[in-house]
């Protein structure tokens, strides 16, 4: 009886931890108001501050996905609008790599953010999200 009860609790906790079967990326704390792309693998995450530039809080997340950089770019263009960020986007070739990169330079209130989405040779994308708050 105790074994069955433990099994049910474990399965319930596992389902909650996995987002009840949703296709959401898990990993380090999210970057506030800049969601993680759903199928990313986290490669780096740092938090800190940059007082020399006047920022009390900084967050940087690096990820990769097998999805195309165009699909990832569309996801972030929609997320930026949804969360009320403003700014500009550039699309340019990466020197000496033969691939393309989207860069979103954003602002919202006293915060600034940058999202870089770089095409990989295998068709996937590298993603870097940075946010700085005053």
Asked if residue 1 belongs to a domain, the reply is no
User: Residue 48's domain spans which residues?
Assistant: 24-133
Burial of 120 (0-12, 13-18, 19+ CB in 10 A): middle
Output the pLDDT for position 61: 92
Tell me, what's the pLDDT at 17?
36
Which of the four pLDDT bands, split at 50, 70 and 90, describes residue 99? Answer: confident
User: Based on the structure, what is the number of domains in the chain?
Assistant: 1
CB 118 within 8 A of CB 99: yes
d(CA 55, CA 74): 29
> Which tokens hold the place of 64?
């990769």
pTM: 0.74
Q: Residue 19 domain-assigned?
A: no
On whether residue 71 sits in a domain, the answer given is: yes
Asked if the structure places residue 4 within a domain, the reply is no
CATH number at residue 63: 3.30.2030
CA 50 centroid distance within chain = 20
Which residue in 45, 11, 12, 49 sits closest to 31, CA to CA?
45
The predicted-structure confidence for 9-44, as pLDDT tens digits, reads as follows 333 333 333 333 333 344 556 787 888 899 889 898
Q: Are strands 86-94 and 99-108 parallel, antiparallel or unpaired?
A: antiparallel
- Whether 97 maps to a domain, the answer reads yes
Task: Name the H helices within the chain.
Answer: 2-17, 69-82
pLDDT the model gives residue 3:
40
Could you tell me if residue 11 is inside a domain? no
pLDDT at 80 over 70: yes
Pairing verdict, β 55-65 and 86-94: unpaired
Please tell me the predicted confidence (pLDDT) of residue 48: 86
């Amino acid at each position: 009886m105790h074994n069955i009860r433990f099994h049910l609790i474990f399965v319930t906790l596992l389902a909650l931890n996995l987002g009840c079967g949703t296709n959401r990326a898990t990993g380090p704390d999210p970057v506030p108001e800049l969601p993680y792309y759903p199928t990313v693998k986290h490669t780096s995450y740092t938090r800190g501050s940059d007082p020399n530039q006047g920022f009390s809080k900084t967050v940087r997340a690096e990820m990769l996905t097998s999805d195309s950089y165009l699909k990832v770019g569309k996801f972030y263009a929609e997320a930026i609008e949804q969360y009320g960020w403003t700014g500009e986007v550039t699309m340019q070739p990466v020197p000496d790599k033969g691939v393309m990169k989207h860069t979103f330079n954003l602002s919202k209130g006293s915060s600034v953010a940058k999202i870089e989405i770089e095409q990989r040779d295998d068709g996937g994308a590298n993603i870097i999200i940075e946010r700085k708050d005053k």
